[in-house]
Amino acid sequence: AQTVTQSQPEMSVQEAETVTLSCTYDTSESDYYLFWYKQPPSRQMILVIRQEAYKQQNATENRFSVNFQKAAKSFSLKISDSQLGDAAMYFCAYRRYGGYQKVTFGTGTKLQVIP
């Protein structure tokens, strides 16, 4: 079974600084997708970034980028120039490739942004 582990329950970052959230996963598959979701205090979850395992290039979305290390099964999220609006729970997630496959979520990292 696939598992997703986020070992940092909470992190903090100064406004305008850079922070990296860690995620590791376990799978025997070679093709899959990885995601980072953001859940602000308002509760509505947002898909932040998506990475396809067969692509070596790391995905980026504006100030959000990932460091995807397939061999190490590591998928970290880097937030550059942190803003107060980045304060949220961040969930790492995994999905197998092909057809409708369920998404497995990690337990989340709560990010605090300090003004």
Backbone angles phi, psi at 80, to 5 degrees: -95, 150
Q: Tell the smallest beta-carbon distance from residue 38 to other proteins (Å).
A: 11
Task: Name the residue type at position 6.
Answer: Q
The Cα-based distances of 37 to 10, 30, 48, 103, 115 in angstroms read 15, 22, 5, 12, 23
- Which of 13, 21, 25, 35 touches other proteins by CB under 8 A? 35
- Which of 28, 30, 44, 57 touches other proteins by CB under 8 A? 44
Of the listed pieces 11-19, 57-65, 78-86, 100-108, which binds other proteins according to CB under 8 A? 100-108
Give yes or no for residue 59 binding other proteins (CB under 8 A): no
- Which of 28, 30, 41, 43 touches other proteins by CB under 8 A? 43
Residues 111 and 9: beta-carbon distance below 8 Å: no
62 C-beta neighbours (distance < 10 Å), count? 10
- Interface with other proteins (CB under 8 A): 4, 33, 35, 42-47, 50, 91, 93, 95, 99-103, 105-108
